[in-house]
Amino acid sequence: MQFLPFNLSSRLLLKQMAVGLVFLSFGALAQEQDQTQVQDQLHTEEKDTFETLNRDIFYVNERLDHYALRPVAVAYTKVMPDPLERGIGNFFDNLDEITNVVNDLLQGKFKQAGHDSGRFLINSTIGVGGLFDVATRAGISKSDGEDFGQTLAVWGVGEGPYLMLPLFGPSTLRDAPSKFIDSLTNPLTYVEDVRARNSARALDLLNTRTELLEVDDIISGDKYLFVRDVYLQRSRYLVNDGAIEDDFGDFEDY
């Protein structure tokens, strides 16, 4: 998996990757290996203009994760009580709702903006600052999430070449600069105490990485291709609000 330190958008990205890995694992089991290889050759040029450089960066990111982030995440799950771990995850999920609402409005999704705003208000108050996901228990489920990359896609901006960013992980030419815009809607950006701000970011990242421990073993074959295809398919899934052409077999839209 990819090491994404101190990225304000890393929590959302890693969650997308986790869900995408599950989607892909079922799709991959339903087809022959040679079909996958043929399809990959047909789409490589479209997806991965900078594959050689991307692979080099992927290797560095993977080593950093293997020797630094993952061991800490494993230790974190062993010492952190489950209720507290869930509470921390809920807290950062609640902060993500602000970014969701802003991008909902920019995309003209006013009903969704009301839904996400309701989640934020309920969890921030009754849920004690977001530590408890009261909104879900009340029937207001969490959405897949929106970011500025999706907003640009709705505005007609193409995704561009696939990029593997140092430390930040998989992205595209459209999504990479969008991470900065999304950081402006994250309250952690405006915490004046630098030590407190960085500690919160580190805790967010660590908690997110623990959520991916159980899907680490799903990856098979060429890890680089696996992560790339998952990221691109998941990104297109989100842009199209769940309607996406499946590149891994003749299945219905998710």
Does the pLDDT of residue 20 top 60, yes or no? no
DSSP at 31: S
Distance of CA 102 to the CA centre of its chain: 17
Higher pLDDT, 233 or 220: 233
pLDDT for res 47: 63
| Mean pLDDT of all residues in 48-66 | 95
Higher pLDDT, 242 or 61: 61
Does the pLDDT of residue 9 top 50, yes or no? no
Contacts 24+ apart (CB under 8 A), 20-26: 20/230, 20/231, 20/233, 20/234, 20/237, 21/215, 21/218, 21/219, 21/230, 22/215, 22/218, 23/230, 23/233, 23/234, 23/237, 23/254, 24/226, 24/229, 24/230, 24/233, 24/248, 25/218
Does the pLDDT of residue 237 top 50, yes or no? yes
Alpha carbons 99 and 15: distance in angstroms, whole number: 15
63 pLDDT band, cuts 50/70/90, is: very high
pLDDT, one tens digit per residue, over 114-152 is: 999 999 999 999 999 999 999 999 999 999 999 999 999
pLDDT for res 245: 53
Alpha carbons 135 and 119: distance in angstroms, whole number: 5
pLDDT, one tens digit per residue, over 68-80 is: 999 999 999 999 9
Q: What percent of the chain has pLDDT over 70?
A: 77
46 pLDDT band, cuts 50/70/90, is: low
